[in-house]
Chain A
Amino acid sequence: MQTSPQIQANPLIFNEKERGAPLIEIRDLHKAFGNHHVLNGFNMDLFERENLVIVGKSGSGKSVLLKCIVRLEEYDSGSLKVLGSNISELGQDELDRIRSDVGFLFQGSALYDSMTVRENLQFPLRRHADRMRGEDEEKLILSALESVGLAHTLELMPEELSGGMKRRVALARTLILRPKIILYDEPTSGLDPITSKEIIELILKVQHQYDTASLIITHDMDCARVISNRMIILVDGINYGEGTYQELAGSSEPKIRAFFK
């Protein structure tokens, strides 16, 4: 995939001293459904302003991992800190506050299909009035939609949008609360290569514009190459390989090599 130079990922320097405390810190995370062990001691740190890509085979537990981070699933053991708080110990109000700092882009976009695009964006905004920073609701909605290039869809219903447009509106809905972290669950799955590329460019643009940290799950290696500062390979429920795209691509480990064919 060819990508124009101005949309390359942030040139992040992996200097231990400069990167500060992690926004998300996962240690020895275990999660099983019955006796099907999905995560078996997974470790991960997500630092400010970085794009961390996790790749793994279908069914390896990538979506489960993301859901544990926002507590849509409860994990069995280990520790999981988001923005300094231990996520499993929070009460509902604190949890909601943390959640509004963490954007989540679902695999299937998950737009509210009984609401117009405008109402989709209004929904989180109205329920987090403190997030409006004294600004006009209409202006915030328009600027979020403009940053994904869809200002003209304001009054459309989700069913009138294409798959790629839905993905972008979902991103705008996530952005409107100005989250510190965005979790992307396969942002390019089910899209054609051109639309995929547009979404990737958008993710990078948004990251520059809003200074968020992103955790991106994908099995699209082109996407991983363009977008990542750092990658984790999820195999057998653990962080099997870790490093930049180039480092991992040069690995001789067969289970890692399998991703770069």
Chain B
Amino acid sequence: MPTSLNFITNGKAFFDETGRISLFAARFFREVVKPPLEWRELLKQCYVVGYQSLLLVGVTGFIIGLVFDIQTRPTMIDFGAEGYMPAMVSIAIVREIGPIITALICAGKIGSSIGAELGSMKVTEQIDAMEVSGTNPFKFLVVTRILAVTLMLPLLVIMADTVGLFGAFLVENLKGDVTFSLYFNKVFNNIVFGDLIPSTLKSFFFGFAIGLIGCYKGYNAEKGTAGVGAAANVAVVIASLLLFVLDLIAVLVTDIFYDL
């Protein structure tokens, strides 16, 4: 039952599902290196994934930055560490909050829409129609979408980070009279490549996971309209779970490098 959620409670189903997802991922890597690439569709998907999520990710990033600053400020003032606010906010946003919040939003928006789109194409036999006309639907539909999400997510994360930092600046400026140049000076004195590179790298993996799960669920959707809904829904649940697992792994790996 590829679109059900019973794999969470059932051990055998869990390993079966993990195996099938791995095979799907392996097929992606086989097909992505086999020319020709469907450029036109790839660009279209980049546009869909990137541009159409811009506002949503921007607004969320801004609010998160704002809220985060408002909530941590009083504690920092108690400790007399008000001057460290920009440093703390920037590290929290760039290392963790920006990537994970953006990825979760995209799992909800992009993961479900890929799941639903491919699911309905599967159910109405459009994928079969591509297959029997001797064209390669995996390449046209799956490879392009996974690539698009993988490439666009890091960009969305960078944008969310920027907007989030700006949101935090507003609070600092209104409540603490910190000027724009002072704030961003402190921010950039504290963020180093050691923060940017791991968080960008992990954003690639987040994007890959969202694209992979959305495509896997849609491509293997079960017949009937219920199958489409299930594909979209389960795609979001699995992708979100997977994001946290990946995040944990990423943090553990980065931690090794910080210790060196």
Taking CB atoms, residues of chain B closer than 8 Å to A74 are none
Interface contact A110-B126, CB-CB below 8 Å: yes
Interface contact A124-B134, CB-CB below 8 Å: yes
Interface contact A108-B134, CB-CB below 8 Å: no
Interface contact A124-B133, CB-CB below 8 Å: yes
Q: Mark B202-235, 1 if CB is under 8 A from A, else 0.
A: 0000000000000000000000000000000000
Q: Mark B118-152, 1 if CB is under 8 A from A, else 0.
A: 00110011101111111110000000000000000
Rounded to whole angstroms, the CA-CA distance of A173 and B133 in the bound complex is 9
Task: Assess whether A75 is interfacial by the CB under 8 Å rule.
Answer: no
Interface contact B134-A106, CB-CB below 8 Å: no
Chain A contributes a number of interface residues (CB within 8 A of B) equal to: 26
Q: Mark A90-112, 1 if CB is under 8 A from B, else 0.
A: 00000111111010101110111
Interface contact B128-A110, CB-CB below 8 Å: yes
Interface contact A72-B135, CB-CB below 8 Å: no
* Residue with the highest number of chain A CB atoms closer than 10 Å, among B117, B121, B124, B125: B125
Rounded to whole angstroms, the CA-CA distance of A96 and B132 in the bound complex is 8
Task: Assess whether A128 is interfacial by the CB under 8 Å rule.
Answer: yes
Interface contact A72-B126, CB-CB below 8 Å: no
Task: Assess whether A80 is interfacial by the CB under 8 Å rule.
Answer: no
Interface contact B134-A113, CB-CB below 8 Å: no
Taking CB atoms, residues of chain A closer than 8 Å to B132 are 70, 72, 99, 102, 104
Task: Assess whether A139 is interfacial by the CB under 8 Å rule.
Answer: no
Q: Mark A61-98, 1 if CB is under 8 A from B, else 0.
A: 00000010010100000000000000000000001111
Rounded to whole angstroms, the CA-CA distance of A114 and B132 in the bound complex is 19
Smallest Cβ-Cβ distance to B36: which chain A residue:
A127
Taking CB atoms, residues of chain B closer than 8 Å to A99 are 131-134
Task: Assess whether A123 is interfacial by the CB under 8 Å rule.
Answer: yes
Contact of A177 among B117, B128, B133, B136 (CB under 8 A): B133
Interface contact A113-B126, CB-CB below 8 Å: yes
Rounded to whole angstroms, the CA-CA distance of A128 and B136 in the bound complex is 11
Interface contact B125-A110, CB-CB below 8 Å: yes
Contact of A100 among B117, B121, B125, B133 (CB under 8 A): B133
Taking CB atoms, residues of chain A closer than 8 Å to B128 are 67, 72, 106, 110
- A/B pair count, beta carbons within 8 Å: 59
Taking CB atoms, residues of chain B closer than 8 Å to A72 are 128, 131-132
| Interface of B, helix, strand, loop or mixed by DSSP | helix
Interface contact B125-A108, CB-CB below 8 Å: yes
Interface contact A106-B129, CB-CB below 8 Å: yes
Taking CB atoms, residues of chain A closer than 8 Å to B130 are 112, 123
CB under 8 Å from chain A, chain B span 66-122: 117, 120-121
Contact of A111 among B120, B126, B136 (CB under 8 A): B126
Q: What is the minimal beta-carbon distance from A214 to any residue of chain B, in angstroms?
A: 15
Smallest Cβ-Cβ distance to A123: which chain B residue:
B135
Rounded to whole angstroms, the CA-CA distance of A188 and B71 in the bound complex is 65
Interface contact A124-B135, CB-CB below 8 Å: yes
Smallest Cβ-Cβ distance to B40: which chain A residue:
A126
Smallest Cβ-Cβ distance to B135: which chain A residue:
A127
Interface contact A96-B126, CB-CB below 8 Å: no
Rounded to whole angstroms, the CA-CA distance of A99 and B128 in the bound complex is 12
Q: What is the minimal beta-carbon distance from B225 to any residue of chain A, in angstroms?
A: 13
Q: What is the minimal beta-carbon distance from A132 to any residue of chain B, in angstroms?
A: 14
24 contacts between A and B (CB under 8 A): A70-B132, A72-B128, A72-B131, A99-B133, A100-B134, A106-B125, A108-B124, A108-B125, A110-B125, A110-B126, A110-B129, A112-B126, A112-B129, A123-B133, A123-B135, A124-B134, A127-B133, A127-B134, A127-B135, A127-B136, A128-B135, A173-B133, A174-B133, A177-B133
For the complex of A and B, the 7 pairs showing the least CB-CB separation, nearest first, are: A96-B134, A100-B134, A99-B134, A110-B129, A124-B133, A110-B125, A127-B135
Interface residues of A (CB under 8 A from B): 67, 70, 72, 95-100, 102, 104, 106-108, 110-114, 123-124, 127-128, 173-174, 177
Q: A67-B128, A104-B132 are in contact. List 7 more A-B contacts (CB 8 A).
A: A97-B134, A100-B133, A107-B125, A110-B126, A110-B128, A113-B121, A124-B135
